[in-house]
Every structure is written in C-alpha cells, then in structure tokens.
Amino acid sequence: MDQDLYQDPVAQRYASVEMQSLFSPLRRALTWRDVWIALAKVEQEGGLPVTPEQVRSLEQARDKIDLARVAQIERETRHDVMAHIRHYGEVAPDAAGVIHLGATSCFVTDNADLMILKTGLCSVRDRLLRVIHELSSFCRENAAIPTLGLTHLQPAQLTTVGKRSSLWLQDLVHCYREIHDLIGELPLRGLKGTTGTQASFLQLCGGDGSRVDALEQALAKELGFEKVFDLCGQTYPRLWDHRIACRLTDISIAMHKAATDIRLLQSFGEVEEPYEKTQVGSSAMPYKRNPMRSERICSLSRHVMTITPGLAQLAANQWLERTLDDSAQRRIALPGLFLTSDAILVAARNVFSGLIVHHQVIERRIAEHLPFMAAEELLMAGVARGGDRQQLHERIREYSWKAREAVLKGDENPLRRMIEEDDFFGEVASSLPPWEPHRFTGRAAEQTFRYLDDVVDLLPRPDEDHLTELRV
C-alpha cells in the first residue's frame, strides 16, 4: 500500500473485502467482459456473423486481463471502453473482430453497472438480514424487562427493553423488504443502441424487430435479469441510481436512529455497546467507555444521506438522450453508497450481537420515577371509588411537584409515602396491587413477542456461508 498517496477511508478502514472487491477495477473489467461474452453468445445463437469458435475464444481469454496494458492504451485513445476492447482483442485475436458488435460504450458500461449494483444490493440485503436476526435475538431476550420510557427525553410511562429495541427492528425489516423488492424489479439496459432506438441491431437483424427483441431477452437471461428497460436513451434512466440510493439511505436513517438511542442509553448507564478487554476509550481519561461503534454508525450514516441528494441532481440533469457529466459523479457516488452501507451493517451486527443491559441501573431509575407512573392508576381508582376527578388530579399534582423537588435535591422519592399518608388516597392505594414495574408496561412484552413470531421469524434465515465477516 502506497502510504504517500490519498486512500479512501471507507475502503481502508470500514467496508468488507467482499464489497471492496465488487467495486474494484478488476471486477469492473471482468464484468465488462462478461457482457461482451453474453453479447457474442446471443448474437451467434441468433444467426448473426459470430462463430461458436469466436465465443469460445472470448470465454477462454476472459481472465487474461492486464490492467497496466489497458491503462497504456487508454492514454493513447483517451477512451476507457476502447482501451478494454483493444486489449481483449489482443488476448482473444480470433474474436477481435466481433467484440462489441452493434454496441455502444453505454451498452457495456451501463449493463455492467446494473449487474454490479444488483450484486451489491443482494449483498446489502443479506448482510441486513443478519443484522435483523442479531437484533431480534436481543429483542426476544429482553422483551419483558421493564425500563423507563422517555418522551421529549423526559421520564414517561414504562416500556420494556425489548419493545424499545423492536422499534429499531421494525425499521430494519421495512428496509429489508424494500431492498428485496427493488432487486426483483431492477431491469437490464439491454440492447438499445446509441440513442435508444436499436438502429444498429435492427440493421444486423436485417430489419426484423422481432429478432432484436429475441436477442435482447436472451441477453437479459444470460446476464441474470428477468426484464429489461422498456425505453432508454443512450443510458438507462439515472432515476434508478437515485432510487437505489434512497433504499440505502433508508437503512442509514434506521441505523442512525438505533445507534443514537444506544448512545443516549449508554450515557444513562442503562445499555452499553460491546467493549473489548484491551480497548481504549479515551487517550486522556482511562476510565471512559465511549460508544464509539455507535458513533461510527451515525457518522457513516450521515455520509450516505449526503450522497443521495447529489444523485437526485444527477438524474435531473441528464440532457436529452444523454450527457457525460454523470460519469465522474457516478464513479464516486455509487461505490461510496455501497461501501458505506456495507460498513454500517458490519458495525451494526457487531453492536447488536454484544449489546449489554445493565439491569440494576434500569431498576434504580425505575424506582426513582415509578411513583409518578403509578399516580395515573391511582387517579382512575380514586374516581371509581366516587372521588371528583378534577379535585383528585389537583391533589396528586401537588404531591407530585413536592416529590419532584425532593428528587432534584437528591432525596428518595417521597411520593408513595405522601399518598399512603393521605386519608383518601391511602385507602385507595391499599386496595391496589403492589407497585411492581411489570404492571406498568402495558402490552409491551406481548407486542414484542407477537412481532417477532408473526413477522421476523417468517423472514429467511441468513446465509452464513457466502458473506465474509471482516473488520469491525
């Protein structure tokens, strides 16, 4: 690695080798060759002037790539596609004359891009599925553990640890479904020609449009697609780049929300992300355990969110049949989207797999505020025994504010004692069950288990074989 030149931090520090490989120059070049081989194959099978021997020659030379030689030719031609065509012809001389037959540069670049993007979406989907199942285990384990709910970041009614984390889970499940559907909908550019009219292929097919359609469908099948774009200019509609970016942005939004919640909860001491034995939290304060992985997730997520508006601008500014001012931006933005999304999910799985719950801290915080939570139940019971709702509300309000002042001074919450000493409320309180936290969590546990059983458990199990877990 050349340390005196700039390196992309996302690739260098965060993304998996799998995703780095997918967007590598070599993978791009090999995918281009796959497109050319598929073109030659369907043209040969469709009766065009391509021989089986020429197809075999292209297949046998597929992996004979010298990127330094390609770069040399590109310096001479100032054209990356032509550089690859010429080099391919050098290593497959018997087929040099039929490489790229009837095609334009966007035929190979756009079809290859869609193949790479589809593979990238599949990788993201599968990695997201692993994150979902990791988080679902945490939700199930903690479904019935009471915890203090917070609205406006202020104490509110109790919920459970599992119910709160199931809200993160639900967002991720939605993202999974959206990604899965998008993969199924993604078309291939196909055989569209220089301005989308298929004129060159129509000429090769002797003016027979049905033969062109057959060639295009055969090409899509050969390259692993079920459908092609009905209409194109020279490029496939760049609106689809933005559409893909939106789906990846949804993941970043969901993960930013979850990671932010974890950071807040860790500041309260309730929940803590995993921490290695030799990990250093602060260079100055040795005792610190900072939520650095969750912070990284937030940072990377914000980066994804910044890429997407740029792709909206790109799609909006495609003049007529095409313009080349999309090229440089796409080379930067699309790999950045996928590598960063991949990095987010790698970190997320690590966090969710080792998320720590500090039960005693949670119980202490509940004890501090539970009397306030119980006040509503007390009010309803008091009304049922014939009390005036407004008068009872005012008495509880006065007691609650006095108790709050005591808590702010560091004293134990005196609200329960005040209520028990009240002539009316004392009798009401004695008729009620004990103030146990689980009584104030409503249907939180039930909702969590139902969601896990009825929704999450019906999702496919993650395939542990084809994804390589790497740096965290």
Residues assigned a catalytic role: 152, 282
3-class DSSP state for residue 150? strand
Cα 292–chain centre separation: 19
**Shortest CA distance to 355 belongs to which of 151, 167, 133, 138?**
138
| 3-state class (DSSP) for residue 261 | helix
Please check whether residue 346 is in contact with residue 471, taking contact to mean a CB–CB distance below 8 angstroms. Answer: yes
Alpha-carbon torsion (313, 316, 320, 321), positive or negative: positive
For 169, the 3-state DSSP assignment is helix
Give all strands (DSSP E) within 305-416, no chain letters: 356-357
As a whole number of angstroms, the distance between CA 331 and CA 349 comes to: 28
What one-letter code names the amino acid at 128? L
Whether the Cβ atoms of residue 295 and residue 225 lie closer than 8 Å to each other: no
* Separation of alpha carbons 293 and 25, rounded Å: 30
Encoded tokens for 415: 């609200």
457: three-class secondary structure by DSSP = helix
* d(C-alpha 388, C-alpha 374), whole Å: 18
Nearest CA to 228 out of 100, 384, 114, 142 is that of 114
Burial class of residue 239 (count of CB atoms within 10 Å of its CB; 0-12, 13-18, 19+): middle
Q: Is 316 exposed, middle or buried (0-12, 13-18, 19+ CB in 10 A)?
A: exposed
- CA pseudo-torsion sign 383, 389, 395, 396: positive
Query: Rounded to an integer, what distance in angstroms lies between the CA atom of residue 314 and that of residue 308?
Result: 10
Cα 24 to Cα 184: distance, rounded to the nearest angstrom: 25
Indicate the DSSP class of residue 14. Answer: I
Give the amino acid at 113: D
Length of the chain: 472
d(CA 293, CA 290): 9
